[in-house]
Structure 1
Amino acid sequence: MTGDKPLKILIAADTYPPDVNGASVFCHRLATAMAARGHEVHVVAARASKGPGYVEQRPEATVHRLASHAVPTHPSYRIVFPWDAARDLARIIDDVRPDAVHVQCHYMVGQAAVNQAVKRGIRTIATNHFMPENLDPFLPFPRWFKRIVARNSWRDMGKIMGRADVVTTPTPLAARAMKLHARLDEVLPLSNGIDSSHYELAPGEEVVKDPWPLVLFVGRLAVEKNVDVLLESLTRMKTEPAPHLEVIGGGEQRANLERRAAELGIADRVAFRGHVDDDELRRAYLRADVFCQPGTAELQSLVTLEALSASRPVVLADAMALPHLVDDGGNGYLFTPGDAEDLAGKIDRVLAASDEERAAMGEAGHRKAVFHSAEKTMNTFEALYRGATAQDVLGA
């Protein structure tokens, strides 16, 4: 698959819009970028509601929706039964006859796609966006049993993704974890990428600021995001006037978090916006004085890259991949995960800085975001589809 001829690319994903999560956003951006380069893109993903499978024509791709089933422990996630996924992926791959298949995780849809693509000798790329431990909040089992589930999931990841021609994941930390726990010999760290220019202030553009300091959180409202710690920190901040918090995103924890804000007496300082469109999200980044990500299960954190692209100082949990996005004291600060007092102090430190100092922090963050260029990421994936190896990419 050399040269410049357009390719047929099939992206197999367990989650895709209208799902809202990092993997879903990445898959949509990947499909959009490849379509813009003239390739024919097909996406296979679970249907977001009850009903039979169907084919959806979207601007970025032909999306093949598979019949799916609700999960009792999660309000929105849906699964495709393995036997259905195997049958449907075999049929779709035979109909589409892709040049490359790109799977996005090793569960249901991803596993079926790897099996069917390898069986037919089709170039296969596997990208992992997920740590098995991310399942913990949704498994109603004791801790010892969850450890067994995680161990088995890591083992399955190695067996399934190890059959692909190239395995990637967004960060070096995740690559090391996959080598250690999934026994994968070669994992290519490849950023999800970000178009930093989209979040920059346009010439002549003005942002209307609130009369109080504004802290921003963006993300799915799930247990592992630890937004409750952020709410608690709001009560401990010393900054005057008292900072407000804007929360963008939805999820199973929203009602609990709204209740907790009321219990803490800060409901009038916390705005739960739910899901917003891309333009409003961009304005929220530019309106904020500091961005906070208290989550402890981030493989890369696209929302943090977006905040850095908007030149916002950041305060992030010292966990998983987040430390890779902060030069402590340069473009923001790390705080001890779960420690509301430490988080409050770090946000206070950002807000106490002069306008010039905060601007310098924002510029440092923007430089870091530019390093994660979407163009570079998409160039690399396109090269992998055409036959490049991980070593080719690392040596480029």
Structure 2
Amino acid sequence: MQVAFVSFETVHHRDTETNQRFRTVLEILAERGHDVHCYCAGFWAGEESTFEQNDITYHAVSTGLEARTSFYLRLPFVLAAANPDVIHAAAQPAGQVIAARWGSTLARAPLVVEWYGDGGIDETRWTRLATGRPDLIVTPSELVGTWVREHGADGDIVDPVPNPIDCDLTRDVGPGEAVDVIYARRLDDGANLESMLLALAELRDRDWSASVIGDGKERETYERLASDLRIDDRVTFLGELSLEERIAAYRGAHVFAQTAERCVFPTEMLWALAAGCVGIVEYHANSSAHELVEGWNRGFRTTSEAELGEAILAAGDLEHREYDDRFADYDRSAVADRYLESYRALQEDHGIL
């Protein structure tokens, strides 16, 4: 299948969660042998109009990010000439969705829009116009699906598809040091690590150990808080780790605590749950993390530091695992199948198949 992806800005321009998610979708389809093309602003050196990397062909529709209007004007005709089976566009900027809609009309191909929602969804006229253009809108969670519907999207075309993980890699990496509680996230204003530290401080008369993975501008603040709470001898700040190092840490840990105030999809938590961790989520209105543990007997949803501490104690009664096959549906191959099934259904609806 030939899929034309549209993203004015890519992870090569700016490394954001949204751009990382979009690249992942390209990669998992390219891994399955599909013909994957990305129409974007040029980011490579030289005058060539295309650039190939990891079985993905990038096409420079404009010369750079400063040429947004040119990108919008040229895109419909570039897509029509490419004649793809499906067009799959990133939601932001909203203008590219409208341009991609014109391209899909000319190419007679269905339009899918990837709406990740990292950083929120702008309340603009262009956003509302964009929600009405696709044949399908893919979001990472029910939370973002709700946001998109609130901005005018038809709920029948919104489909939550999670970020994928690699289950084979999870099984292959050996377990790291045993630890009772682990946390992983960028340590910034939204980390809310204090919830976990305060909960652990209430359990200082118990025997436990904890690790924190991640770095950021608030790391020193959190280290001082652990010291002030007199638990710094049992909380280890590990800093940034590679994916394999993080998986090893998760396989050695018993509980993964998710307390961040904003999270469109808890990717690190998913890696940890697949690696056998019990999941404890502190509920927040702008976080989708609770969606991963609802209805699961190894998951806890809490609303306060006191409940978080109680959940950590209760989790101690559950067996330690180093892998959980419950999360096989989140594997890269399974998520790729979700996209391919959606593409084929849209093609049937358009009378293409």
TM range (shorter): 0.7 to 0.9
**Equivalent residues in 2 for 1:209-288, closer than 5 Å:** 209-210=177-178, 213-238=179-204, 240-248=206-214, 250=215, 254-265=216-227, 269-274=235-240, 276-288=241-253
Which among 158, 163, 187 is matched to residue 157 of structure 2? 187
Which among 7, 11, 23 is matched to residue 16 of structure 1? 11
Query: How far, CA to CA, are the matches of 2:164 and 2:156 in structure 1?
Result: 24
Question: Closer, same or farther in 2 for the Cα pair 1:36/1:220, shift >3 Å?
Answer: same
Q: How big is the shift at 1:240?
A: 3.8
Which among 28, 37, 47 is matched to residue 33 of structure 1? 28
Q: Which residue of 1 aligns with 2:113?
A: 126
**Equivalent residues in 2 for 1:106-121, closer than 5 Å:** 106-107=92-93, 110-111=96-97, 114-118=100-104, 120-121=106-107
Which among 139, 152, 162 is matched to residue 169 of structure 1? 139
Q: Specify the code of the residue in structure 1 equivalent to 2:148.
A: M
Question: Closer, same or farther in 2 for the Cα pair 1:328/1:315, shift >3 Å?
Answer: farther
Q: TM-score scaled to structure 1, two decimals?
A: 0.70
Q: Which residue of 2 aligns with 1:359?
A: 320
Query: How far, CA to CA, are the matches of 1:22 and 1:200 in structure 2?
Result: 21
Query: How far, CA to CA, are the matches of 1:272 and 1:112 in structure 2?
Result: 45
Query: How far, CA to CA, are the matches of 1:63 and 1:370 in structure 2?
Result: 31
Question: Closer, same or farther in 2 for the Cα pair 1:348/1:128, shift >3 Å?
Answer: same
Q: Specify the code of the residue in structure 2 equivalent to 1:293.
A: Q
Q: Verify the 8 A CA contact 1:326 1:333 in the aligned structure 2.
A: yes
Q: TM-score scaled to structure 2, two decimals?
A: 0.77
Q: Which residue of 1 aligns with 2:88?
A: 102
| Deviation sequence 1:131-168 (CA, Å, 0-9, x none) | 6xx44xxxxxxxxxxxxxx6724x64332132112222
Query: How far, CA to CA, are the matches of 2:314 and 2:8 in structure 1?
Result: 41
Question: Closer, same or farther in 2 for the Cα pair 1:196/1:8, shift >3 Å?
Answer: closer
Q: Verify the 8 A CA contact 1:226 1:295 in the aligned structure 2.
A: yes
Question: Closer, same or farther in 2 for the Cα pair 1:390/1:45, shift >3 Å?
Answer: same
Q: Which residue of 2 aligns with 1:321?
A: 288
Q: How big is the shift at 1:112?
A: 6.1
Query: How far, CA to CA, are the matches of 1:270 and 1:109 in structure 2?
Result: 46
Q: Specify the code of the residue in structure 1 equivalent to 2:320.
A: A
Question: Closer, same or farther in 2 for the Cα pair 1:126/1:200, shift >3 Å?
Answer: same
Aligned CA RMSD, in angstroms, stands at 3.9
Query: How far, CA to CA, are the matches of 2:95 and 2:268 in structure 1?
Result: 26
Q: Matched residue of 2:183: which SS?
A: strand
Q: Matched residue of 1:207: which SS?
A: coil
| Deviation sequence 1:237-268 (CA, Å, 0-9, x none) | 336444222223x5xxx122323322441555
- Structure 1 unaligned segments of length 5 or more: list them: 1-5, 69-79, 136-149
Question: Closer, same or farther in 2 for the Cα pair 1:379/1:208, shift >3 Å?
Answer: closer
User: Is 1:370 matched with 2:335?
Assistant: no
- Structure 2 unaligned segments of length 5 or more: list them: none
Q: Specify the code of the residue in structure 2 equivalent to 1:237.
A: L
Q: Which residue of 2 aligns with 1:380?
A: 338
Q: Which residue of 1 aligns with 2:2?
A: 7
Question: Closer, same or farther in 2 for the Cα pair 1:216/1:40, shift >3 Å?
Answer: same
Q: Identity over aligned residues, as a percent?
A: 15
Q: Specify the code of the residue in structure 1 equivalent to 2:27.
A: T
Q: Which residue of 1 aligns with 2:302?
A: 335
Query: How far, CA to CA, are the matches of 1:54 and 1:284 in structure 2?
Result: 43
Q: Matched residue of 1:102: which SS?
A: strand
